[in-house]
Amino acid sequence: MNNKKIDERLKIFVIGVFVVFIIIILKVFYIQVFQYDKLNDLASDLWSRNLPIEADRGKIYDRNGVVLADNVTTTSLVLIPNQIKNKEEVTKKLAAILNVSYDDMKKHVYKNTSIERVHPFGRRLDYSVAEQIEELNLDGVYLVRESKRSYPYGTMLSNTLGFVGIDNQGLSGIELQYEDYLTGEYGAIKYFSDAKGNKLNLSQVYEAPSNGVNVTLTIDQKIQASVERELDNVVTKYNPETALAIAMDPNTGEVLAIASRPNFDAVNYQNYSQEALNRNLPIWATYEPGSTFKIITLSAALNEGLVDLDNETFYDSGSVKVANAKIKCWKAGGHGAQTFLQVVENSCNPGFVELGNRLGKETLFSYIDKFGFGKKTGIDLNGEATGIIFDLDKVGPVELATTAFGQGVSVTPIQQITAVSAAINGGNLYKPYIVKSLNDPETNSVIKENTPTKVRTVISEETSKEVRRALESVVTNGSGRSAYIEGYRVGGKTGTAQKVENGAYLVGNYILSFIGFLPADDPEIVVYVAINNPKRVVQYGGVVAAPVAKSILLDAIDALEIEKRNVTTEKKYNWNDKKYYTVENVIGKTPKQAASILSKFTIEYSGNGNVVIEQSPEAGMRLEETSVVRLMLGN
């Protein structure tokens, strides 16, 4: 081989080495500059570990900023088994502090894993327990921050708020419905260890958690507290199977209060049956509405121009024969000759059968559909039922007659109050809702806001005005007089619905209800109360449910700052069963002085102290003798 060829090969070799060297340099440059973050993260994953830090769930507020669901910071036990030097000693000491067996603790200490959460007895530790563990200062034993759900008002709104599980996940109610918003993102304390898990002497990195979105409800806590208190009183006094109440703004569909009995303690939900936890009766329960449904028949007949309340009379003999059925009035012997306004006041079944016949099945059932019965209202809560309405082709004379006064059909409480709201608010059906807005946890700025949704116009404004007048007359002169409030215009309707079981009506077993609103000329609130089979009492809605609704309305007057209005509806009957007295101002008085001044009333105290700092109702209101006046004590 000559020297020329050797030189050529040597040049090719040198050039090749140079090219390879350039490629290596470029590759290193690419890795160091363009892939540094990726490779650094991969390397970091090999020798870094995370101790998770739980984020706070979003808080739940009422419409005025009162916290209904909050968070309490707790600590939980986390182990790094490879860092524990004396496993036997750690097992014994932790078992003693946590009050568990040695074997139960050993399963966690000796577990072959990088990070071990001690569950369940190491979760949500009491402060004193966490302090004992921290004082041990053991390698591989860590206490990490966790968040525990708390409900400042205990069982208030429990069926609607729902509850969360051990891992702070929503399991029912609003906690479940808005889980994606309420849940935050975990943070972490990042530490570094070698391949065997031994902790390296490097600074820890703290990654802050991101808290969940806050939820603001349409609920008014003051009105909600009134509803809860009154339902508790109903349970104590009457021992019903169930009881419920809803308060709504009839002009928007906003739910101001909602509750039922039985309820539960969300913190200790494990102690309750699934039935108690997952049935929100105001939206889930279905039953025959009884006479409160007559508001729908009345609205339809007025809107169609088929009745003159003041100038047209109806004779009630005590019963009416429809096909082969005899439909009785609740009053033996009937009411005799009466105007149709008195038919409404007296809740006369035969009179409403007449209105149903005038309407005919096609027209009556078209209004029932327009008012929203037989389908879900679309309220933003899970578990809503639809109710049951007769198929039109199966409606005969008897079905038409019974439907006209609220028997044979099945409705939900939320349907009932939503429909009546439309009847009294000017004729507009609104979609009910309970979540007002979603808010940023840091700035509280609105992320998403719900506004009133008008579904349709059902009756005219003039018809609605007539309905309000008739229902105010029911409270002033008729079956709803137990809801009368001196100095305020109140409208309403009673209901006494016989219950059905296995296709037959039960004897002496009723759902007693009342739906009331005020002011009657321009409603700001409507309240629906239903009590299922109360004991030791005459079973009439006007006797049992109307006084409950009255108490809630009295509290709503203060909560919503509703002013007195001139009462224009004339009292036609003399009520000699009760006398009325003016509530005096007792703020600043001692309990003894207040009791003397308010001797005509029943006084209920709350709080601790030597003087009255708040009273409800406020001074100047006129109440029936023995009515309840609530006094809050303080210093």
Residues that are catalytic: 291
In the numeric block, the tokens 């006046």 are attached to 629
Cis peptide before 350 (omega within 30 of 0): no
What one-letter code names the amino acid at 4?
K
How many angstroms separate the CA atoms of 385 and 383, rounded? 6
How many angstroms separate the CA atoms of 357 and 265, rounded? 49
**How, if at all, do strands 628-634 and 602-607 pair?**
parallel
Helix (H, G, I), strand (E, B) or coil at 627: coil
Tokens representing 116 are: 């071990």
* Pick from 531, 551, 548, 528: nearest CA to 255: 528
How many angstroms separate the CA atoms of 172 and 159, rounded? 8
Apex 497 CA angle, 473 and 485, nearest 5: 30
Query: Residue 490's Cα: distance from chain center in Å?
Result: 26
How many angstroms separate the CA atoms of 96 and 110, rounded? 17
DSSP letters, 260-317, are EES---GGGGGGS-HHHHH--HHHH--B--GGGGHHHHHHHHHHTT---TTT-EEEE-
Identify whether the C-beta of residue 495 lies closer than 8 Å to the C-beta of residue 512: yes
How many angstroms separate the CA atoms of 339 and 18, rounded? 112
How many angstroms separate the CA atoms of 186 and 55, rounded? 5
Q: CB under 8 Å to 563, separation ≥6 — which residues? A: none
Identify whether the C-beta of residue 294 lies closer than 8 Å to the C-beta of residue 344: yes
Identify whether the C-beta of residue 197 lies closer than 8 Å to the C-beta of residue 114: yes
Length of the chain: 635
Q: Hey, which residues does 243 pair with through a beta bridge?
A: 261, 531
Helix (H, G, I), strand (E, B) or coil at 28: helix
What one-letter code names the amino acid at 201?
N
Helix axes 461-477, 294-303, angle to 10 degrees: 140
How many angstroms separate the CA atoms of 366 and 403, rounded? 13
